[in-house]
């Protein structure tokens, strides 16, 4: 049951899951041939405490606004989980 609740996100690339501790980064898209990263970076984040309270906006749109990016070239995500007590999900976009 805990594993199902802790893995509610989905992407084209899904790294391995760690039940006790997880901390990784992965691309949100897989077809990046010829993709230029861009000179700007924007980050948006959401967090969860005990799986009871979740706050934040980790949308691509918010990450682009935070980085003053008009054209997004690529997006990554990072996920961190400590025993389901604390979880963080960050979206990072790159562009111009």
pLDDT at 11: 55
d(CA 48, CA 11): 19
Number of domains in the chain: 1
Cα distances (angstroms) measured from residue 93 to each of 20, 47, 48, 63, 87: 28, 18, 21, 6, 20
2 φ, ψ (degrees, to nearest 5):
-60, -40
pLDDT at 10: 56
Q: Return the residue matching tokens 């963080």.
A: 88
| pLDDT by 10s per residue, the chain, length 96 | 444 444 555 556 667 778 899 998 888 877 777 778 889 999 999 999 998 999 999 999 999 999 999 999 999 999 999 998 999 999 999 999
pLDDT at 4: 47
Query: Rounded to the nearest 10 degrees, how much is the dihedral formed by the CA atoms of 6, 58, 23, 32?
Result: 110
pLDDT at 68: 97
What is the domain range of residue 81?
Answer: 2-95
């Amino acid at each position: 049951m805990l594993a199902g609740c802790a893995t509610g996100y989905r992407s084209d690339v899904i790294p391995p899951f760690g039940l006790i501790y997880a901390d990784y980064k992965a691309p949100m898209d897989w077809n990046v041939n010829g993709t230029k990263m861009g000179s700007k970076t924007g980050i948006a984040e959401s967090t969860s405490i005990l799986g009871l309270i979740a706050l934040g906006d980790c949308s691509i749109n918010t990450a682009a606004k935070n980085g003053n990016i008009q054209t997004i070239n690529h997006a990554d995500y990072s996920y961190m989980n400590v025993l389901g007590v604390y979880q963080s999900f960050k979206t990072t976009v790159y562009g111009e």
